[in-house]
């Protein structure tokens, strides 16, 4: 199957992790600027609702599954192709120390953050190269930069995704494919901490307790939008973004009444 597509003036992006949080907000941000956006996630019903609101093209898929990735590529080709891949799908599971690590949690984090990102990037690189002005943006985390107790699995997954991103930038420069990495700190979204903590809403809320202004999904989505919209000869290699209250991994200001 060919992945060569006709050139068009309209910018077009594939956004993974689009059913919630930063992925959903990124779909909204790009669609609002006139981009054709392929919204990708596993939850079809949420994608359909997002598509109805924004005009995005909903493509339900699990990016870690080869058949789903192949179907996604075919759908993008049929719809006219894309010049930008925004890899946001991923996440964290658990806060166990390594001594109590759950194998299934680590395997899920490595599969969703690293293997899935590799598979979808590998699948779309021929299209991005053929476009002549392709962009890959990977959303990692400050957890890739500094490890912390209870974060070993997520630290490992995001550090691996970061290493892959840096290698990709070197490999694809000669193909005029720019590779951007956005590394957010504390972002308060609908599901990230809730999922990480096994659905415990009270524990999830405590993650943000006393932090006056954590980042929002919309904050990060606006940075993603900017990074992929600047003229193509500009590559924002690495963008670390934290709330002011989070001066560093070990310094988070919590103000209690």
Residues of the chain by 3-state class (helix, strand, coil), percent to 5: 45, 15, 35
Burial class (CB in 10 A: 0-12, 13-18, 19+), 187: buried
How many other CB atoms are there within 10 angstroms of residue 67's CB atom?
Answer: 9
Which residues lie closer than 8 Å to 72 by C-beta, 6 or more apart?
14, 38, 40, 59, 61, 63, 120, 123
The answer to whether residue 148 is catalytic is no
DSSP label at residue 199: T
Catalytic residues: 154
């Amino acid at each position: 199957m060919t992945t060569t597509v006709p050139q068009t003036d309209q910018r077009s992006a594939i956004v993974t992790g689009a059913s919630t949080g930063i992925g959903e907000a990124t779909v909204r941000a790009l669609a609002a600027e006139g981009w054709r956006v392929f919204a990708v996630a596993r939850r079809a019903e949420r994608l359909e609702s997002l598509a109805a609101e924004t005009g995005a093209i909903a493509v339900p898929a699990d990016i870690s599954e080869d058949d789903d990735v192949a179907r996604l590529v075919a759908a993008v080709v049929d719809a006219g192709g894309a010049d930008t891949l925004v890899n946001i799908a991923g996440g964290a599971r658990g806060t166990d120390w390594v001594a109590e690590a759950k194998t299934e949690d680590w395997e899920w984090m490595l599969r969703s953050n690293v293997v899935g990102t590799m598979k979808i990037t590998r699948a779309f690189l021929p299209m991005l190269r053929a476009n002549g002005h392709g962009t890959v943006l990977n959303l990692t985390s400050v957890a890739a930069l500094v490890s912390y107790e209870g974060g070993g699995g997520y630290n490992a997954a995001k550090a691996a995704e970061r290493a892959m991103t840096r290698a990709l930038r070197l490999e694809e420069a000669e193909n005029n494919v720019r590779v951007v990495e956005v590394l957010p700190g504390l972002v308060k979204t609908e599901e990230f901490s809730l999922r990480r903590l096994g659905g415990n809403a009270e524990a999830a809320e405590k993650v943000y307790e006393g932090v006056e202004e954590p980042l929002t999904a919309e904050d990060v989505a606006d940075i993603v939008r900017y990074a992929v919209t600047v003229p193509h000869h500009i590559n924002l290699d690495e963008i670390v973004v934290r709330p002011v209250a989070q001066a560093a991994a070990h310094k988070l200001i919590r103000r209690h009444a």
